[in-house]
Chain A
């Protein structure tokens, strides 16, 4: 008798994780990993924030491992909403936000996609081109049809604002859009404040729904308030938005899977209704979310000193990345590259869309043992003072004939 599963196809390899696997297998002492988007310090080492270590010390062994409520840790959610909506947000005071703890940003997006499917079954989601690859998987598995909108313009290595606005205008009224609140992944290209205001205005005209994926608050500029600007603009303009928030990067809690999904509602009653539905959707996925990461977050954000420490540490991370952008650009210019590399410093957040072609990326890997995804995305977190020269040299070599 043969297996029930003999027709199961091997799944295609995940492009991003595949890069790391290849990197790990490479014996070259010069190898550089600018693939995966996890922060590294200037020695290329992963970092556990001091505020996190302290929080863990406080909570270790002290608590019973009881189930969280279905919506997760109330404390953690409250603190998290303040970060996105503002410390003194009237929406929080008026209890108008339906919010649940989620399994980091992925979990928040998926919960929202499932919610969208259930309660707006005729809707679709507009997704920027390009975007984090898993966005497509999430809405596909939720069975929400996808459309795309213009975002990145290769010629300028910047925002394709005119085409983006055309897509917004041409979409049917009341369309759902996925927006990256800051530090767009994978391009690092964000709209300016003025552009955000125009987008918000047009969304109002069209009655579109804005869903923000905010995975890098604090990590982009170093200032969480500043990084939430796009969201605040939309809130001021009266939109009823949805937000996915993640602590994976800005608190370095990658493996703890801590995040929050929120949906702004008309009033408290509706927020209660929406929250109850989000909980139901979570119940059939994993019942309730994990405790540990939520405890870390609420311990840090609930203690003024720890919160201050966190803000400092986030700024250190952001500043290092900004510093590496400058260093890489200067390094390339110093080598006499005739190409424009200003996009390296124009772009923001963890990633830089270098503009390198797949063939150039392959050369970087094969000849220089530099690993990145074939779309030319460089994880700036992998760049250090130790390897920036080597990286610049290699990029220059493979592009100088371009």
Chain B
């Protein structure tokens, strides 16, 4: 190996192009993504009292990340399987994964599945599925307006914008009631242009924790079908609301049962604790098998120039779990345990606030579902709590209940109690 002298060139007298600057000198530094900024600040905070209620990842009662036992078992199986090779997956991913994911969300007896009207393709978790779904709409759907709930997962707009679609908001959360702004939701969707796509959170709305009731879902469904709007479901928390996978899929199944079409994206990041492996699926429920088949072929054309084919490992783990009855059952037990811990944490926080006599109605904490609760705290209050109590959450007051434990509830209550008098009209 020859030594490298950076200044040497065997071609002498290389005329340096007058612009020896990088062609990317003008590139500005991107603004930091707020949630990451919060997390960075938290990790830099030396205080032993610090509490991370920010990013939406599950933590145990000890504040540690969790590896599901069933995932550990699945990995052991995979690593010891000498016949398993690491070849490219098909563009649409691991076929068995697609089949099982489809069944998970639509139900084994789903008429859409039986009639081959669904195409399900493996993508990179929920976000990857959202992007491909958005690109598909942009390319093949006649209407480029997409309605997203206000508020929603901070990254949602980016997929649709990247695809070149037009975003509009529909009212969702009512800060006064800290619940669903149902009438306004119906109003906004009712006045949407025909064919507009509407993004729904299938369950455990992020960031508010507010879900429609079944009756409300039914009304929404009727409105959507009546107005010819196109439903697009983001399902990232199946199992986290009721603790039951089937039950949490109700909203989606309602929209499939009426024979209509929809797009559904699934993430296994949270419910199988596979965040880093990027496991997800995109499904298009179509009127007939032929359309589903053609749509799938078009999805391939979107996927191939983006990353060719999805990563195998996480999907293989998910398959091991979903296809084995005993492992599937163990999974549901571990999932339910996570969900129960969230429920009990909510209860503890609520009761502690009551006991403390902290002014305000805190019942939304136990009414909200899933990982998050929209605390109702203002930006100023949040900043105060971060500064004085080392409590970290995004400025919108969204708290990740999974970041709390019996031990840390008192500290959070202290902080909220101290922050409440600062209340300015929101």
Q: Which residues of A contact B (CB under 8 A)?
A: 1-11, 14, 17, 38, 46, 48, 52, 56-57, 60-61, 63-68, 70, 86, 90, 103-104, 106-107, 110, 119-120, 134, 137-138, 140-142, 173-174, 197-198, 200-201, 204-207, 209, 225, 232, 235-238, 240, 248, 252-257, 263-266, 270, 272-274, 276-277, 279-280, 283-293
Contact = CB atoms under 8 A, between A and B. Distances in A.
A11 B303 CA distance: 12
Nearest to B268: A65
A197 B11 CA distance: 7
Interface residues of B, number: 94
21 contacts: A2-B287, A3-B288, A3-B291, A4-B141, A60-B75, A66-B65, A66-B275, A67-B269, A106-B306, A119-B27, A120-B23, A134-B308, A173-B17, A201-B14, A207-B17, A253-B86, A256-B86, A270-B27, A274-B24, A276-B29, A286-B124
Contact of A64 (B67, B79, B128): B67
B87 interface: yes
Given A3-B286, A65-B276, A273-B28, A110 B67 contact: no
A48 B85 contact: yes
Interface string B394-413: 00000000000000000000
Interface stretch (B46-54, B157-165, B172-180): B157-165
B311 A263 contact: no
A106 B23 contact: no
A11 B298 contact: yes
A263 B159 CA distance: 24
Contact of A292 (B20, B88, B284, B311): B311
Contacts of A110: 305-307
Interface stretch (B1-9, B202-210, B246-254): B1-9
Given A2-B287, A9-B298, A14-B300, A289 B278 contact: yes
A106 B127 contact: no
A61 B72 contact: yes
Nearest to B141: A4
Interface string B249-285: 0000000000001000000010001111110000010
B294 interface: yes
A266 B22 contact: yes
Nearest to B137: A4
A134 B128 contact: no
Contact of B10 (A70, A197, A286): A197
B25 A270 contact: yes
Interface centre among A63, A238, A290 (most CB of B within 10 A): A290
A82 to B, nearest CB: 13
Contacts of A235: 6
Contact of B36 (A57, A70, A286, A289): A70
B230 interface: yes
B29 A255 contact: no
Interface centre among B8, B273, B309 (most CB of A within 10 A): B309
B294 A284 contact: no
A255 B86 CA distance: 5
B261 A290 contact: no
B162 A204 contact: no
B278 A5 contact: no
Given A205-B17, A276-B32, 12 more contacts: A3-B287, A46-B87, A60-B76, A65-B71, A66-B275, A137-B301, A137-B305, A255-B312, A284-B159, A285-B124, A287-B125, A290-B276
B116 interface: no
Contacts of A257: 307-311
B24 A63 contact: no
Contacts of A266: 21-22, 25
Interface string B101-126: 00000000000000000000001110
Contacts of B22: 240, 264-266, 270
Interface centre among A17, A198, A235 (most CB of B within 10 A): A17
Closest 5 CB pairs of A and B: A291-B276, A103-B307, A255-B312, A3-B287, A286-B124
B295 A5 contact: yes
Nearest to A293: B311
Contact of B312 (A174, A204, A232, A256): A256
Contacts of A206: 17
B304 A134 contact: yes
Given A4-B141, A270-B25, A290-B314, A63 B67 contact: yes
A240 to B, nearest CB: 4
